[in-house]
């Protein structure tokens, strides 16, 4: 893979190249990507989607804030911008032709990573990570399994292994009437966004991190191929028919996400009293021993200030470490042989693993989180059951007046039954995934006759 192709400014519908040296510096194309994402309705809905800890919980004068998908995404974007800028400086120093001939600047790398990081959770369903599993479970073990015979193996796998990353690619790129190409992001940003550039089948063909999940549905196969061709992603020999190695900047997007959920989910757990404060501060200090100003730290009276200081130091420490790993392994990243995340190869892996282990025990398996996930499973299953039945009855001409009313209650984008079974089922999954937590609860109560 070569950087000139990887940094493509091309967008859906372009017939020629967009040259970096001809870009308007006051509003660079990669920065336009960021703007389009942040003003999209799909991004705004993240403000009411669970990150890890459900809302509302333990609201009071001391414990009144936890992260949503929106605040998490904004913070990941900020960290990603720093990662991209620092890495960009080092890439340009090794490849001066990129700046001297083509006009690329280190801020371009920061803008690409920031935009891709901003969108990294845009396709995730309500109720945290269990939302994906709940959608897949309905079609694998619930009433949705009755549709298996009507789908190809690839189509069925898309649905039973419903993936927020693939849904995100669909949201960013899907054409609608009068809106060709969705948000029409640059291919460089779309490439950096694709953490798992492969189809749903085969599942996990290797232990390479690019094969861990999948990144596009069959409905986006053609456009995915266009993006891959333009930016020159390398074919993955573990899966030569449908798989590719990652865009190098994807590793920075992933690192930004890993840093934020490691440190900031941990911080939420402390603020909510799920993790003992003294115990937790010790974990963070272990991560920043080399950079902490002990005099400054000890002068802080309030635990919230001490926690904020340690969080900032920890994030900065992990940013610099991730960039070091990226620079050291740039050749392997470009040829596809680098098979793990940056943090897994960093010098602070042991400290990060300790924090994540404690977070799993105290936060991710807490009663509040488990209860929310259980409720989410039921809500998602019920909504899918009602709407898939109505839509399939309409397609088969067996619909009732109730089915007609149900379909009218859907946003117009999801009402079409004059299409394939796969499209109907996938669109229904995407409708559920588009719901915020409270919207899903509200719709479920109406469908169950609990609210008028």
Domain match, 12 and 120 both: yes
Q: What is the CA radius of gyration of the chain?
A: 23
Write down which residue in 364, 399, 419 finishes a domain. Answer: 364
Residues whose CB is less than 8 angstroms from the CB of residue 59 and which lie 6 or more positions away in sequence, other chains included:
none
Domain match, 348 and 433 both: no
Write down which residue in 315, 341, 364 finishes a domain. Answer: 364
* Neighbour tally for 148: CB within 10 Å: 14
Of 318, 188, 324, 311, whose CA–CA distance to 256 is shortest?
318
Domain around 331: 3-124+248-364
Contact 29, 23 (CB under 8 A): yes
136 lies in some domain: no
Domain match, 353 and 412 both: no
190 lies in some domain: no
Domain match, 327 and 378 both: no
Domain match, 291 and 425 both: no
Would you say how long the chain is, in residues?
A: 452
Q: The tokens 């690192």 sit on which residue?
A: 255
pLDDT of residue 282: 84
CA 398 to chain centre: 38
pTM here is: 0.94
pLDDT of residue 302: 87
389 lies in some domain: yes
Write down which residue in 364, 382, 417 finishes a domain. Answer: 364
DSSP 233: P
Domain match, 41 and 114 both: yes
CA angle, residues 308, 46, 35, in degrees to nearest 5: 90
The tens-digit pLDDT sequence of the chain (452 residues) is 999 999 999 999 998 889 898 888 888 889 999 999 999 999 999 998 888 766 544 444 344 567 889 999 999 999 999 999 999 999 999 999 999 999 999 999 999 999 999 999 999 999 877 899 999 999 999 999 999 999 999 999 999 999 999 999 999 999 988 889 999 999 999 999 999 999 999 999 999 999 999 999 999 999 999 999 999 999 999 999 999 999 999 999 999 999 999 998 888 888 888 888 777 778 888 889 889 999 999 999 988 888 889 999 999 999 999 999 999 999 999 999 999 999 999 999 999 999 999 998 988 888 878 888 888 899 999 999 999 999 999 999 999 999 999 999 999 999 999 999 999 999 999 999 999 999 999 999 999 887 65
Contact 442, 451 (CB under 8 A): yes
pLDDT of residue 323: 98
Helix (H) or strand (E) segment spanning residue 270? helix 248-271
pLDDT of residue 252: 98
289 lies in some domain: yes
């Amino acid at each position: 893979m070569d950087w000139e192709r990887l940094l493509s400014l091309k967008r859906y519908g372009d017939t020629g190249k967009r040259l970096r040296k001809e870009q308007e510096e006051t509003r660079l194309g990669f920065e336009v990507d960021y703007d389009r994402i942040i003003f999209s309705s799909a991004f705004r809905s993240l403000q009411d989607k669970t990150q890890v800890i459900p809302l509302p919980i333990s609201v009071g004068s001391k414990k009144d804030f936890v992260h949503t998908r929106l605040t998490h995404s904004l913070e990941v974007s900020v960290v990603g911008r720093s990662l991209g800028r620092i890495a960009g400086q080092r890439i340009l120093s090794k490849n001066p032709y990129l700046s001297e001939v083509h006009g690329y600047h280190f801020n371009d790398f920061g803008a690409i990573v920031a935009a891709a990081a901003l969108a990294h959770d845009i396709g995730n369903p309500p109720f945290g990570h269990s939302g994906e599993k709940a959608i897949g479970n309905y079609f694998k073990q619930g009433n949705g399994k009755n549709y298996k015979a009507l789908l190809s193996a690839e189509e069925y796998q898309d649905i039973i292994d419903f993936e927020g990353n693939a849904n995100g690619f669909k949201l960013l790129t899907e054409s609608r009437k009068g809106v060709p190409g969705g948000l029409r992001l640059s291919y460089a940003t779309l490439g950096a966004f694709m953490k798992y550039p492969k189809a749903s089948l085969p599942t996990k063909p290797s232990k390479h991190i690019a094969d861990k999940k999948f990144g596009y549905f069959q409905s986006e196969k053609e456009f995915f191929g266009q993006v891959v061709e333009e930016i020159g992603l390398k074919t993955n020999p573990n899966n030569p028919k449908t798989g590719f190695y990652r865009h190098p900047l994807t590793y920075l997007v992933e690192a930004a996400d890993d840093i934020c959920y490691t440190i900031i989910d941990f911080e939420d757990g402390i603020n909510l009293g799920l993790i003992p404060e003294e115990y937790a501060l010790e974990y963070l200090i272990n991560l920043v021993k080399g950079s902490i100003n002990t005099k400054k730290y000890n002068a802080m009276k309030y635990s919230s200030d001490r926690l904020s200081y340690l969080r900032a130091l920890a994030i900065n420490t992990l940013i610099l470490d991730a960039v070091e790993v990226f620079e050291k392994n740039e050749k392997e990243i470009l040829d596809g042989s680098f098979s793990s995340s940056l943090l897994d190869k960093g010098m602070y892996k042991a400290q990060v693993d300790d924090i994540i282990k404690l977070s799993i025990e105290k936060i991710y398996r807490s009663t509040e989180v488990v209860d929310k996930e259980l409720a989410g499973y039921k809500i998602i299953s019920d909504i899918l059951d009602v709407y898939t039945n109505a839509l399939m009855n309409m397609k088969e001409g067996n619909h009732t007046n109730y089915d007609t009313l149900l379909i009218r209650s859907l946003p117009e984008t999801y009402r079409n039954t004059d299409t394939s079974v796969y499209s109907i089922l996938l669109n229904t999954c995407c409708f559920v995934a588009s719901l915020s937590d409270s919207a899903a609860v509200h719709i479920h109560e109406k469908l169950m006759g609990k609210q008028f």
